[in-house]
């Protein structure tokens, strides 16, 4: 095992896949000479050249549209959308073209396209650079949605995305880039649709997504202390589409209680879909209503104090667990 940051793990996955397959290339705003606005693609242009690491104009529609055409012609593009908020600029390309090309061609047009997107609030970046838009696309069939929470998962899931035959939205939380973690040696991939049970428990299931995973683990540690110790099971779905429903249902069946934590807004967020699935398939096992911990339903403020008030964190999870146990 080796220790890498989340950012380094993504860079290594890109480097390995580009070396393994000449059809893999990168394009996006400032991904080449600058090495990415968050430094994730540093050094790749020096190794693979400008043909395979392409800086683009500031046009999300153009970036995704060009990548779609390249994918349909046999390439494996990996594009970077600098901020998830800007996915709206490429909405028509993603929703009406990328997601549907394979289906509308009767399977003749493959779309092995990976769209890397930053997500979440990095701190005082205000309403247009702090959103978590994962759920915007959960309603669109034809797209896989990935939200890795650790360096090892970021590398293994990205390699699976690049090698797959379907379009993938790959959400990278900005506040995880500096996070360090152990990475397996050698070439490895992580299968989509396989949740990761990070902590076994018996009293309540916490389903945490992306940047909320570390908050959930910290909350579980705090709740385990004291005379009224609570045993929390913490599960990271890893992928929102496909979703590992059997693993989530099995956990709820064991604990009898469920809490879903994500940084996206509560109304219509990923937790709404997960809660609906659990209500359909695990209602008989639930001893209390499903709880959701999420951002308040307002645009993300610029002021740090207000931002922290809107965003969910460890203390919110602790309070929600106590509520679901009442």
Active site residues: 129
Are 183 and 4 in contact, with CB atoms under 8 Å apart? yes
DSSP state of 306: H
Among residues 82, 189, 209, the alpha carbon closest in space to that of 138 is found at 209
Q: How far apart are CA 212 and CA 21, in angstroms?
A: 34
Q: How far apart are CA 187 and CA 8, in angstroms?
A: 15
Among residues 296, 250, 294, the alpha carbon closest in space to that of 273 is found at 294
Q: How far apart are CA 223 and CA 318, in angstroms?
A: 7
Among residues 237, 234, 223, the alpha carbon closest in space to that of 201 is found at 234
Long-range contacts of 49-53 (CB under 8 A, 24+ apart): 51/25, 52/18, 52/24, 52/25, 52/26, 53/25, 53/26, 53/27
Q: How far apart are CA 47 and CA 121, in angstroms?
A: 32
Tokens of 84: 């998830």
- How many contiguous H segments (helices) and E segments (strands) does the chain have? 11, 14
- Other Cβ atoms less than 10 A from the Cβ of 142: the count is 18
Element (H, E) at 316: helix 314-325
- Other Cβ atoms less than 10 A from the Cβ of 47: the count is 11
Angle between helices 270-281 and 245-255 (to 10 degrees): 70
């Amino acid at each position: 095992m080796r220790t890498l940051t989340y950012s380094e793990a993504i860079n290594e996955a890109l480097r390995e896949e580009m070396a393994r397959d000449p059809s893999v290339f990168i394009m996006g705003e400032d991904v080449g000479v600058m090495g990415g606005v968050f430094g994730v693609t540093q050094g790749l242009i020096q190794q693979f050249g400008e043909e395979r690491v392409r800086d683009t104009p500031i046009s999300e529609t153009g970036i995704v549209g060009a990548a779609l055409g390249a994918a349909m012609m046999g390439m494996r593009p990996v594009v970077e959308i600098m901020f998830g908020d800007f996915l709206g600029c490429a909405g028509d390309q993603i929703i009406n073209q990328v997601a549907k090309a394979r289906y509308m061609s009767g399977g003749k047009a493959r779309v092995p396209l990976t769209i890397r997107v930053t997500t979440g609030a990095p701190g005082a970046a205000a309403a247009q650079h702090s959103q978590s838009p994962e759920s915007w696309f959960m309603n669109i069939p034809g797209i896989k949605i990935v939200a890795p929470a650790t360096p090892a998962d970021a590398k293994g899931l990205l390699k699976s995305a690049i090698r797959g035959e379907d379009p993938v939205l790959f959400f990278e939380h900005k506040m995880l880039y500096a996070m360090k973690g152990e990475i397996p040696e050698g070439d490895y991939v992580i299968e989509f649709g396989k949740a990761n049970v990070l902590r076994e428990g018996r009293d309540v299931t916490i389903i945490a997504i992306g940047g909320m995973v570390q908050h959930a683990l910290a909350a579980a540690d705090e709740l385990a202390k004291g005379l009224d110790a609570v045993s929390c099971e913490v599960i990271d779905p890893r992928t929102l589409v496909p979703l590992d429903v059997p693993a989530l249902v099995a956990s709820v069946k064991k604990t009898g209680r469920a809490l879903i934590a994500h940084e996206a807004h509560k109304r219509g967020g990923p937790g709404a879909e997960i809660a609906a699935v659990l209500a359909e398939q695990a209602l008989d096992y639930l001893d209390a209503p499903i709880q959701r911990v999420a951002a308040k339903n307002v645009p993300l403020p610029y002021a740090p104090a207000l931002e922290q008030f809107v965003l969910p964190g460890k203390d919110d999870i602790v309070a929600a667990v106590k509520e679901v146990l009442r």
